[in-house]
Structure 1
């Protein structure tokens, strides 16, 4: 355990400026203090602009279907959001080693710049391929540059409080998923799509600047990690966990992308009220990110993630029987809360499945690739089912079954890790 004097020295040396501290040798994280909580705040805004922009796409999906890209199918439009989410997770395989090599601030700057540039170029787009390049590729790669730093920085400052600190930081994705669509919705009718989108770019610039000015590496890894470690898949708990996350991300985004168009097509509510379904879902995800972090430290992150997957899958299947405004509002709130663990807990759960923490970054990167592949074939396939059948039933079944499969696979991973003891912490 680090001495009290060394922890006080860390706090005294913590300044709110844009200069990065020289990383020190590995030692015990301070588990608190001004500088540590500044990292949580900075990570909060990284999640705000990475996962937050992905969670916002449901609003863009509706706008594109009825305005800018109305000549495109729902499946084609959903590819924009799916590729954006895929790149967020895939780019982590590259940014992980760069982070380990000490390019922390370079990743923050690159990711921030790409997100801002993406929004600014999106504001002048008028064709499908242009939107694909600006929103899916440019913003997606920017998201990927921010994702690994936002997750990897917290274990450097927290040990016992790591789960709750990660949950608070991850709640930034939900806050971003609330503010971004509301700002867009309120401004677009008044000042038009171009300037409404530019305002989102300025919002990203301001919040990313805060992270750039406050976040710093505390210590460098004692060795560079390898890019891939295929031997990890020989361990049944890890292999089952990765497969579970693959199926989870197939179904995770479908409600976020399609609940608003569903409400309008079913005439369950007017356009104005239907718009707020996505912000409501994301607002409910704020406690859905934090509460699992609190419970995960006591009951085990894998256990909480297992319960979250089972309930989220059941809610997707319940979606089949919901046609009223009250039912859809309740669905959005419940799904937002119980699916929140999909963002905040996988990285924490992986720590319980990794015997050697020196390979944790590599394992996180490989799992992220599978999550990205899941998101890539999730919403576009759901949209293709919708276009082919003209009914949301197939999309709803597809979402519910894949997330329920996640629960089954997580249960098997838990058994492989802890045995059949129901009260075992995992």
Structure 2
């Protein structure tokens, strides 16, 4: 017998569109905060450890650990870490789709351990390429990339704040590993600095990976390694152009600062401190950028911070000739230079929906491969040794890159405004 109001059993068992929407909406908290803490430590012991490469670079350049190597080799190895991490993004996205988020992360942790340990025993420059360059880079990508969409799945209104807290981990990690690497290199050996990095970072990464939890079963993301349809959207192309050009400035500034300190007559300890203060600025600045983005607009804040970072290169870094001024620039630029890393997740979530978030993130990582690989090579090539202003052209190059990148972000802002109208 049929009820006059319809089959009650069917109506109760079939969720309404509103129920489905509520189930897929980010809860803005709950277990999401546990994920934020876990991803904070993932950033701390992946990008934070890699950020200390400037300390290794300064030692490689000064002490000639590998007699057959040229300065360009060391610069390219630093860029190779970033480039390899981004190059594996499509593969990592596909593995995450077929298996789970944690499978590539555990593989990445194993590769990081192998890379750091084998680098500590390297005796030829090609061995350093394969270990500290390729293995560490691939391990970084496999560990870091699957974690990025998770925060945006758990947060909406507080998305940028949550991402800012996570990104601050790289600054804290850079601070820790810069001091640790410098102290161990001076008192023990460079090899043991790399081995301790492997032991400490991989132990923490294993714990953090165990506790994170994605919401893929609810959201059902597409997780395409390369989604060509997204490239047809003008706003996507503007975002990728901003990513490409801003990374040009980021890599040069991040890796050149310790050696720049040496070029103006500062000691190795002061150079390492400069790198550490840069990372301290990162730890403080990224949550602030997150709060501003949630309140004032993610695209607007990304464009303004990118522009200000470029202007600070000309206003503070260019005339810097003393330790105090360089520390001032380090703390200020540290809070801004990694604006790409703190905003890319929320920006991709704003331009695409959560279903296409990981597909757009994969395109974003791919867009940074070339600048990550070659920017520091360009920066060192622009040096003018024995000129009195060794890093002048590299400083100008880094500043112009940020200023040009900001133009594309403001173009994205205009495009979105017109679309809304």
Out of 404-413 and 228-237, give the one that drifted further: 228-237
**What corresponds to 2:163 in structure 1?**
166
**What corresponds to 1:50 in structure 2?**
46
**What corresponds to 1:399 in structure 2?**
398
TM-superposed CA distance for 1:409, in Å, is 1.2
TM-superposed CA distance for 1:155, in Å, is 2.4
Aligned-partner SS, 1:378:
helix
What are the within-5 Å matches in structure 2 for residues 208-223 of structure 1?
A: 208-220=205-217, 221-222=219-220
TM-superposed CA distance for 1:103, in Å, is 2.3
Aligned residues: 395
**What corresponds to 2:409 in structure 1?**
410
Q: Write the deviation string for residues 31-90 of structure 1: whole angstroms up to 9, x where unpaired.
A: 222x32221121112212322233211111101111223653332211011010111222
Out of 243-252 and 84-93, give the one that drifted further: 84-93
Out of 85-94 and 397-406, give the one that drifted further: 85-94
1:83 aligns with 2:54: no
**What corresponds to 1:28 in structure 2?**
25
**What corresponds to 1:263 in structure 2?**
261
**What corresponds to 2:233 in structure 1?**
235
What are the within-5 Å matches in structure 2 for residues 179-258 of structure 1?
A: 179-220=176-217, 221-222=219-220, 224-258=222-256
C-alpha separation between the residues in 2 aligned to 1:251 and 1:157?
31
**What corresponds to 2:297 in structure 1?**
300
**What corresponds to 1:38 in structure 2?**
34
Contact 1:347 1:364 (C-alpha < 8 Å) held by counterparts: yes
Contact 2:261 2:270 (C-alpha < 8 Å) held by counterparts: no
C-alpha separation between the residues in 2 aligned to 1:387 and 1:85?
26
C-alpha separation between the residues in 1 aligned to 2:297 and 2:248?
24
Query: RMSD between aligned alpha carbons?
Result: 2.2
TM-score by length of 1: 0.87
C-alpha separation between the residues in 1 aligned to 2:149 and 2:76?
28
**What corresponds to 1:123 in structure 2?**
120
Contact 1:119 1:197 (C-alpha < 8 Å) held by counterparts: yes
Contact 1:50 1:88 (C-alpha < 8 Å) held by counterparts: no
Contact 2:111 2:135 (C-alpha < 8 Å) held by counterparts: yes
**What corresponds to 2:334 in structure 1?**
336
C-alpha separation between the residues in 2 aligned to 1:156 and 1:44?
16
1:290 aligns with 2:305: no
Choose from 345, 352, 374 the match for 1:347: 345
Q: Write the deviation string for residues 321-371 of structure 1: whole angstroms up to 9, x where unpaired.
A: 2111111111111110122422110121122222x4322221111121112
TM-score by length of 2: 0.88
C-alpha separation between the residues in 2 aligned to 1:117 and 1:393?
38
TM-superposed CA distance for 1:231, in Å, is 3.1
**What corresponds to 2:17 in structure 1?**
none
**What corresponds to 1:19 in structure 2?**
none
Unpaired segments ≥5 residues, structure 2:
1-21
TM-superposed CA distance for 1:388, in Å, is 8.5
Max radius of gyration: which structure? Answer: 2
C-alpha separation between the residues in 1 aligned to 2:28 and 2:102?
22
Contact 2:44 2:170 (C-alpha < 8 Å) held by counterparts: yes
**What corresponds to 1:60 in structure 2?**
56
Unpaired segments ≥5 residues, structure 1:
1-24
C-alpha separation between the residues in 1 aligned to 2:27 and 2:318?
48
Out of 71-80 and 166-175, give the one that drifted further: 71-80
Aligned-partner SS, 1:345:
helix
TM-superposed CA distance for 1:294, in Å, is 0.8
